[in-house]
């Protein structure tokens, strides 16, 4: 669920509704695969009085939600908008768990029509929804398994750059040229470019590998923020995860982790200091641990290596080393 800082939403009600749907979904599909678009749009309108747009691309269904006053004055998600987003998430969840269509992912894109330059993009793996409802995932773990981004649509940024260039060149009435250039950017290359702009979806079929790469990057960000030891020594700047396909074999995960030493480490207050090698071991223990735990939890094995790039070094560990580290058969000192 998408949360704001003040309201948690009707989580228990949503849970009970979805449980009843998945249990009753053993017979004929409630939402046939040839009517996914109509089902999503109609359900949101009928059940929640919300107008949405939808699009199916391969294994992925996307929903666009126009939500006025999406953010409040301090850029938190407005409570009313948050409820609308959660209603749409509930609606699309009802469809994907009660259809005979092969849908592996769903996407919800929320924008304020008056300020479409900022959007919320929410991506969820359908199997995670089913596992959670059947008791296979804890609520805490389920919360970690969504990819949520608040960002500027890439197409909006391209459009802004082109407009600035045309203004400098004194080219007038170039709206159609700009629109044609921006729309010509399809197909998009990664899930980070999933968006909605100028009444058009920019969507792709989401792969499990790129979804996991993005999710793991988010888990690493959370660790730098919430892990008391990491947070004591380091401040995360930017963290990026991607999956690089290898035409000649298995693809690789690549994580670029940009962090810096804290200006006034907390050890100054306690009188304790950690050596450089111990601090390095701390970072890589957390990184390797997050990757191994996440990939093992998803039973994902279709990769070769995991590569970690920091400001000072690049570290590559194999799939076999990841599993052995997870099982406690390999120590961090043997890997770094």
Same domain? 162 vs 31: yes
Report yes or no: 150 and 120 within 8 Å, Cβ to Cβ.
yes
Extract the tokens encoding 320. 């076999």
User: How much is the average pLDDT of 191-207?
Assistant: 93
Residue bearing the bigger pLDDT, 142 or 269: 142
Q: Are residues 23 and 172 in the same domain?
A: yes
- Residues 239-249 have a mean pLDDT of 90
213 shares a domain with 155: no
Query: Cα-flanking dihedrals φ and ψ of residue 186, to 5°?
Result: -70, 150
| Banded model confidence at residue 286, pLDDT cuts 50, 70, 90 | very high
More confident residue, 177 or 240: 240
Please indicate, yes or no, whether residues 135 and 257 belong to a single structural domain of this protein. Answer: no
Q: Average of pLDDT values for 311-321?
A: 93
Query: In the listed set 206, 235, 264, which residue is the last one of a domain according to the structure?
Result: 206
The alpha-helical segments, DSSP class H, found in the chain are 11-24, 36-48, 79-96, 126-133, 139-144, 154-168, 175-183, 208-226, 228-233, 267-270, 276-297, 319-326, 332-335
Same domain, 156 and 294: no
Q: Is the model's pLDDT at 12 over the cut of 70?
A: no
Asked whether residue 6 is assigned to any structural domain, the reply reads no
Q: Which of 206, 238, 272 is the last residue of a domain?
A: 206
Same domain, 200 and 213: no
For residues 201 and 267, membership in a common domain is answered with no
For 235-263, what is the mean pLDDT? 90
Average pLDDT over the chain, rounded to whole? 86
Q: Report, as an integer, the average pLDDT of 78-86.
A: 95
The per-residue pLDDT for 6 is 46
- Any domain includes 280: yes
Domain check: are 103 and 139 in the same one? yes
Going by C-alpha positions, the residue among 306, 331, 149, 313 that lies closest to residue 242 is: 306
Residues 262 and 285 in one domain: yes
pLDDT of residue 94: 93
CA nearest neighbour of 220 among 204, 242, 205: 242
pTM equals 0.84
pLDDT at 9 over 50: no
The mean pLDDT value for 57-74 works out to 94
Mean pLDDT value across residues 215-244: 92
Total domains present in the chain: 2
Q: Worst-scoring range by mean pLDDT, 18-22, 178-182, 273-277? A: 18-22
Q: Are residues 197 and 216 in the same domain?
A: no
Residue of 25 and 170 predicted with greater confidence:
170
Instruction: Kindly tell me if the per-residue pLDDT of 270 is higher than 60.
Output: no
Q: pLDDT digit string (tens) for 92-146?
A: 999 999 999 999 999 999 999 999 999 999 999 999 999 998 889 999 999 999 9
Containing domain of residue 58, as a range?
A: 11-206
């Amino acid at each position: 669920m998408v949360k704001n800082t003040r309201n948690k939403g009707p989580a228990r009600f949503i849970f009970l509704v979805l449980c009843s749907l998945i249990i009753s979904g053993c017979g004929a599909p409630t939402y046939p695969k040839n009517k996914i678009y109509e089902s999503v749009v109609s359900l949101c309108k009928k059940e929640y009085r919300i107008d949405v747009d939808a699009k199916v691309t391969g294994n992925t269904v996307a929903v666009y939600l126009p939500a006025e006053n999406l953010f409040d004055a301090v850029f938190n998600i407005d409570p009313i908008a948050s409820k609308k987003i959660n209603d749409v998430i509930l609606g699309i969840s009802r469809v994907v768990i009660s259809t005979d269509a092969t849908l592996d992912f769903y996407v919800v894109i929320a924008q304020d029509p008056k300020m479409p330059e900022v959007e919320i993009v929410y991506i969820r793996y359908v199997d995670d929804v089913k596992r959670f409802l059947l008791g296979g995932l804890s609520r805490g773990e389920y919360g970690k398994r969504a990819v949520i981004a608040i960002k500027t649509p890439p197409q909006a940024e391209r459009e802004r750059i082109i407009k600035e260039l045309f203004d400098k060149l004194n080219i007038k009435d170039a709206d159609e040229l700009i629109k044609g250039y921006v729309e010509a950017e399809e197909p998009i290359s990664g899930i980070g470019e999933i968006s909605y702009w100028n009444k058009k979806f920019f969507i792709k079929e989401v792969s499990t590998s790129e979804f996991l790469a993005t999710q793991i990057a988010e888990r690493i960000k959370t660790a730098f923020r919430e892990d008391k030891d990491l947070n004591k020594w380091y401040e995360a700047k930017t963290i990026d995860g991607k999956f690089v396909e290898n035409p000649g074999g298995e693809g690789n995960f690549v994580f670029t982790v940009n962090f810096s030493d804290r200006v006034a480490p907390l050890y100054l207050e306690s009188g304790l200091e950690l050596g450089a090698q111990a601090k390095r071991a701390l970072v890589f223990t957390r990184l390797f641990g997050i990757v191994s735990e996440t990939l093992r939890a998803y039973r994902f094995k279709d990769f070769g290596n995991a590569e970690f790039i920091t400001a000072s070094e690049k570290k590559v560990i194999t799939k076999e080393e990841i599993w052995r580290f997870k099982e406690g058969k390999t120590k961090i000192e043997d890997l770094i």
